Amino acid sequence: MENIVITIARQYGSGGKTVGKMVADELGIPFYSRDILKLASEDSGINEALFGEVDEKLKKNTLFRRFKDVYDGDLISPESDDFVSDKNLFNYQAKIIKQLADRESCVIVGRCADYVLRDYPNVMSVFVYADEKFCFDRAMERNSMSPRELEKYIAKIDKYRGDYYKYYTGQDWTDARNYDLCLHSGKLGFEKCKEEILAYRKVRFGV
């Protein structure tokens, strides 16, 4: 198998992004997170700011939590009024994710990449989570909020990630059946999470 892609979904404060970067560095392969937005902008010709605005809009919009717009892979023509719709902006991100999976070994964090690439034989999906105290303590290191404010903020971010995943995939973000590997970073620590991902990669793909 020429290239292997590792997707990582993570709870806020669990360190999933950090673990993903550690894995990418260990393997010497590219690491993608919000870079996907820039690449999607370049591919579509749509202003990168619009991709970021969709994220912020969905965080504030309670309607999308009640509905689904499951990703089907179809891109909308530039001639259409819906060319810069939320759905099409997601579709362009998904297009980039698929191109990366076809082209190179890499680590991709977030963006429902596990679902977008669910039928790809060269992809392994990981979910990183931790207990509330671990996530809170890590978040406290990076945020200047009161403990109560931070608790609400963490809950809000995780709620948004779950709603976003449900909206575009129709599935539950924290359902272990959606992933190949689920890791409790609070118990394992980041280094052992990295080792587990590399071990699974070797067992599954032989490399």
pLDDT digits 0-9 by tens, 3-19: 999 999 999 999 999 99
155: its two tokens: 């809950």
Residue 36 has pLDDT above 80, yes or no: yes
Q: Of 59, 13, 6, 81, whose CA–CA distance to 167 is shortest?
A: 59
CA distance 139 to 44: 34
Residue 107 domain flag: yes
Residue 191 pLDDT grade (very low, low, confident, very high; cuts 50, 70, 90):
very high
176 in any annotated domain: yes
Q: Residue 135 falls within a domain, yes or no? A: yes
pLDDT of residue 63 exceeding 60, the answer is: no
Q: How many domains does the chain have?
A: 1
Judge contact between 187 and 135, C-beta under 8 A: no
- What b/e string do you get for 137-171 counting C-beta neighbours within 10 Å, with b at 16 or more? ebbeeeeeeeeeebeeebeebbebbebbbbbbbeb
**pLDDT bucket at 125, cuts 50 / 70 / 90:** very high
Q: Which domain holds residue 142?
A: 5-202
Amino acid present at 71: Y
Q: How far apart are CA 191 and CA 88, in angstroms?
A: 37
What are the helix (H) ranges across 10-131? 16-27, 35-44, 48-60, 86-103, 113-116
Judged by average pLDDT, the poorest of 44-48, 72-76, 86-90, 169-173 is 72-76
CATH for 150: 3.40.50.300
Is residue 96 predicted with pLDDT exceeding 70?
yes
| 8 Å CB contact between 104 and 70 | no
Residue 207 lies in a domain: no
17 in a structural domain: yes
